[in-house]
Amino acid sequence: MSTSSYQNPLIERYSSKEMSSLFSDETKFRTWRKLWVALAEAQMELGLNITQDQINEMKHNIDFINFEDAKRFEKETRHDVMSHVKAYGVLCPKAKGIIHLGATSAFVGDNTDIILMKKGMDIIIKKLVNLINNLKEFAIKYKDTPTLGFTHFQAAQLTTVGKRACLWIQDLLLDFYDLEYRMNNLKLRGVKGTTGTQASFLSLFDGDHEKVKKLEAKVCEKMGFKESYFVTGQTYSRKVDYQVLSTLSSIAQSMNKITNDIRLLQSLKEIEEPFESNQIGSSAMAYKRNPMRCERISSLSKYLISNTLNPALVFSTQWLERTLDDSANRRISIPQAFLAVDAILEIGINVTDGLVVYEKIINKHIEEELPFMATETILMEAVKRGGDRQELHEKIRQYSMEAAREVKQEGKNNNLMEYIEKDEAFMLSKEDIDAIMDPKNFIGRASEQVVEFIEYEVNKVVSQYKDYLGIKVELNV
């Protein structure tokens, strides 16, 4: 389907309908109306001349958003909030005189932003836990499967496939804790008035400070929040946006690291992301199985990480009680951050639900490198049998250099153990060496760490969201 206007790929290709719907115009303006109802209802309960009939009329028309009227009014007023006040008034003739009473634009704008961000984080945390749970199951399955560890992408001591997955989970748990903290500590902007002093509401209630405080508390409660920020200017501090988007960026950082690891392992043919039977890896090279899902996560992660600069700049350049140079930026940067992290986690759930492990290739790579890593154990065992430590050390050094030369220059298999087996100074038979060379002798406590980590930390997080587990994601592109 062709179109003559730009379509946002985050909506058209990547993010879920759930997240794109949350940041839609319908949800935004419906939330504005819910806030106007909450404000009017609280004002009525505290004694202002507002009737239940007016409240009922407003409630009845929350979902009937007359966009054409709002568009016409905005063309006249050049003010988005006032255009929707007027549009709502068209549908609520009895209540139009009390809609937005005493409020400034930030009452609906800022409070709605907070509400949507909190709902967005609720979507994100459930998907994050599903991703963690997928990796948990993977880690348990492969907790005892030895694999080469890598430092500097050079072969290092052995670990296990499951232990490596726990490194990924650890990063995601740190993100979970940050996200949970942000969710639990996010507050409404509240009912603060033009410059945050609540002067207009104090006037409405004839100087009664207690009623102004109760008004704010009631609105918070009606909108599902325990409290609002004690002090604001016309807007809540834009540092809040930075804190929230930084947490989303942190998830992107973790996912980029994880998928980079998977891409490296796929290049080694050890682990592979899901690859469908009719999927094409390359338009030219028919044999290729490119890690396109992990690459897509990496690509979106770069966008989200860089997007965090937007709220940092917005916050740091605000003037006094407020300036409007935040508005256009926030309309783009906040929704797109949530759409991007949603897409990243959706793809991540799909990838981790179908990771393929090629154990024979992993074992082949271990066999190529383990002889070098086993030399210290070989040395200790030979010394126990009466060998001279210094003499044997020099022999191992020489044999290692020769074996490495043959591997690199002649393409031979690593035959270091054959040299040692033939040298009577080591006093080790082939059976002795084979027993020492069992890869499981070189994984330390990797298996135990997987079990302990999952039992004592991962399961506590997963159990909190057990009712939301089982999310399956089918990718359409």
Which two three-digit tokens encode residue 335? 């929704």
Q: Give bridge partners of residue 158 from the DSSP assignment.
A: 148
Distance CA 190, CA 236 (A): 9
Q: Which residues contact 452 (CB under 8 A, 6 or more apart)?
A: none
Distance CA 359, CA 269 (A): 10
Single out the residue of 354, 327, 296 nearest to residue 15, CA to CA: 296
Which two three-digit tokens encode residue 354? 């179908």
Distance CA 141, CA 468 (A): 22
Distance CA 421, CA 387 (A): 14
Count CB neighbours of 55 within 10 A.
20
Which two three-digit tokens encode residue 14? 């990547």
Catalytic residue among 2, 4, 5, 152: 152
Which two three-digit tokens encode residue 77? 């007023």
Question: Does residue 282 carry a catalytic annotation?
Answer: yes
- Give the burial class of 63: count Cβ atoms within 10 A of its Cβ; 0-12 exposed, 13-18 middle, 19 or more buried: exposed
Catalytic residue among 21, 203, 282, 306: 282
Which two three-digit tokens encode residue 442? 């070189």
* CA atoms lying within 13 Å on the CB side of residue 252: 26
How many Å is the maximal CA-CA distance in the chain?
Answer: 103
Distance CA 31, CA 332 (A): 18
Q: Could you give the 3-state DSSP secondary structure of residue 227? A: coil
Question: Does residue 249 carry a catalytic annotation?
Answer: no
Distance CA 77, CA 92 (A): 20
Distance CA 171, CA 259 (A): 13
- Give the burial class of 107: count Cβ atoms within 10 A of its Cβ; 0-12 exposed, 13-18 middle, 19 or more buried: buried
Q: Report the catalytic residues.
A: 152, 282
